[in-house]
Structure 1
């Protein structure tokens, strides 16, 4: 088994080697507690074909809590965990890849990016201007681009939905056109766009969902876009919604039972299938089915990274099924075993909120803050804890005051505290404390500091 020689949090050394060897660079930005990151580590990055391909590029891993990591993120416009970027030796960005792809498809798509004659930005420009015809591989790269981690690197200030719709019309490769259309529809849904020929679109998507080959090839979109597109394209309570949801549910059932997929992807499909039960696609004996599937999945994994993903997915499935007691028991039972228990404490807080128990939610947020590790993570968890106090216990001035003082102390030890994700958390803190009507010297000082640093 080949091992991958990752450069850890050292972008300067990684790019120096890329320039020296003339090899492109693959940048993986992530965090130890992030479930999609753990899915990549336990699945895609552990594949022999990924390791074999890695010999053709320089591998750089940047952990969001490492020293200087948020500054690196600011330089390369990284925010969401995980973000996966392919760059030329001179630092020119070629493409960003979606983490949701099944392992083999991810490796093939990474290979396309490594061999690309044009960057995705150049291909996008040509696709929109029609200045030249695009090759099939260019269309493939556009259809597999990670639009949700773009950070305006390719799209700049373009209207996202309009740009995707334009590419869909211009695309000359059927398999890419289908992905681009689904991306365009989802962007329209998120943007509240009107003017969609719903009946025609539903018929076209329905035909794709009925084709097992297409469902497998579009696994990531079948899972990710199901709920949003059903809601966007159909009316609540309509026969059309029920029929569309049932067609989508059948496709998800196919994925959930596909042994070629990893357990993490099977569980993702099951979770969405459970959610569709509320949109017109009932799931027979849902509680019994979910309990059995969760028990089998949990019993079948021990490797820490994969187990983190499985526990997270299973807790979500149980909660979405209304089995809150089961979800809490699963998460609480995992706290002593997990490498990131503070992540599951956040989920327990969310479950407590679903129960209408804000005091319990605050307690879990407090425990998560106490256990959180790493400067960027602690700032994010501290911001969430502070937000819960202001929302659910605004009268607890002493607690808000003490927490504000602790966050101020920790900010003083963070290098470039406003960089990237840290800046987002500071803006959250400033906004929340700005709306709070209580009086606290340390909360006031934190609000002013956060607003100043966030700019």
Structure 2
């Protein structure tokens, strides 16, 4: 794994200015499965180390002192967020962590050499003030819209912006991304006004082309449920047709031994989720075999973390809750971040309507979590679960509130970014309680 990461923000930018190099910012957390996938498939590669000779690498861990305040400064929240900046702090682009490893490295090289920023490319694309190169369109198409946080979009609506870009872009990878992501955004915002039949047919045309499936791997893995549900009605031939086309593309990914096992398992999990929507049934004997094989053969820490997460998801989404729980519990002593899997176990308990189990796992996760911000955020999650699942247990709620209040008061950036977002979830939840819950409620409102 690449070991040249700097952790001091000001020092990293000073070095970038002195050396005339861009800066690559990795914002992440130890427990985050997509972060671990990126570590295993990108940061461990020799190509990343080669590219790193041309940039300054800055790792901002979400649990480092003052990290959440720095996250607010850089407008980063979701783990991971991967940003390429010029030495003066101007943002060049944000890269999507979900793309396949080699594709990510190609995009990183493109960003490092780009004469334009993604902001400049967006302005030119929307107002037609300049002819964009293929590379500029690619930079825009593979921008990480999911982790934008207003850095590029500002006040622009996502769905409308993507629709404009899809109209303006030349045919190719970038246009497909604008179209698919625009569909997802419009459906989520309930502003979709297109032709579902025409859009479903366009999606199926991409799914039928192996090269396009490879190019849009992240979208094929992650948008299936949203687009199948949004573009087709339940129990219709149209849904069966689109879900079947998508399942076939996912099977292509699953069976491609050149891909990493995490992506292949994620393809299997997505097929399981499509089957629940009315898509083709998944052979669960085969699914269990692939889960077990992955469990046995993957030992590298980072990759194993994301593989076990996906494997448990395959089983849980298929309704095999006992098997998913058994897999996760067996992994706890081995994992470098077992507290993350405790949240998964709480979710399984919730599916069983096992209130005691939900609270037990959330409490254990809060108690064992590593890192001050993670401890704070997950202690809030436990407190919220108590209020929801055991509203009459005042003593337990007050004890959990006292823990959260102590953690928050000890953190200078308790109100920043992920910390503040989590604390604000408590607003209105503790109004009927006396101190210390009442003090925590006031702290959350401040």
For Structure 1 versus Structure 2, the TM-score category normalised by the shorter chain is over 0.9
Shift, 1:285, TM fit: 3.0
Partner of residue 389, structure 1: 386
Partner-residue secondary structure (3-state), 1:96:
strand
Q: CA RMSD in A?
A: 1.1
Mapped to 2, the partners of 1:450 and 1:281 lie a distance apart of 44
Deviations 1:23-82 (A, max 9, x none): 000000000000000011111111111111111100000100011111211111110000
Shift, 1:93, TM fit: 0.3
Partner of residue 172, structure 2: 174
Partner of residue 406, structure 2: 409
Shift, 1:337, TM fit: 0.9
Partner-residue secondary structure (3-state), 1:86:
strand
Moved over 3 A (4+): none
Shift, 1:417, TM fit: 1.4
Mapped to 2, the partners of 1:62 and 1:309 lie a distance apart of 20
Residues 429, 450 of structure 1: 8 Å contact kept: yes
Residues 242, 279 of structure 1: 8 Å contact kept: no
Name the stretch that deviates more: 87-96 or 273-282.
Answer: 273-282
Partner of residue 21, structure 1: 19
Q: How does 1:1-400 map to 2 (within 5 A)?
A: 3-8=2-7, 10-286=8-284, 288-400=285-397
Shift, 1:20, TM fit: 0.2
Shift, 1:432, TM fit: 2.7
Shift, 1:325, TM fit: 0.3
Mapped to 2, the partners of 1:284 and 1:55 lie a distance apart of 45
Mapped to 1, the partners of 2:429 and 2:253 lie a distance apart of 41
Residues 2, 48 of structure 2: 8 Å contact kept: no
Residues 2, 43 of structure 2: 8 Å contact kept: no
Selected match of 1:424 from 421, 424, 427: 421
Mapped to 2, the partners of 1:56 and 1:194 lie a distance apart of 43
Partner-residue secondary structure (3-state), 1:425:
helix
Deviations 1:148-187 (A, max 9, x none): 1001011011121111111111112422111111111111
Mapped to 2, the partners of 1:363 and 1:198 lie a distance apart of 44
TM-score (norm 1): 0.96
Partner-residue secondary structure (3-state), 1:433:
coil
Q: Which ranges of structure 1 fall in alignment gaps of 5 or more residues?
A: none
Partner-residue secondary structure (3-state), 1:152:
coil
TM-score (norm 2): 0.98
User: Does the C-alpha gap of structure 1 residues 352 and 116 become closer, same or farther in structure 2, counting only changes over 3 Å?
Assistant: same
Q: Which ranges of structure 2 fall in alignment gaps of 5 or more residues?
A: none
Mapped to 2, the partners of 1:194 and 1:51 lie a distance apart of 43
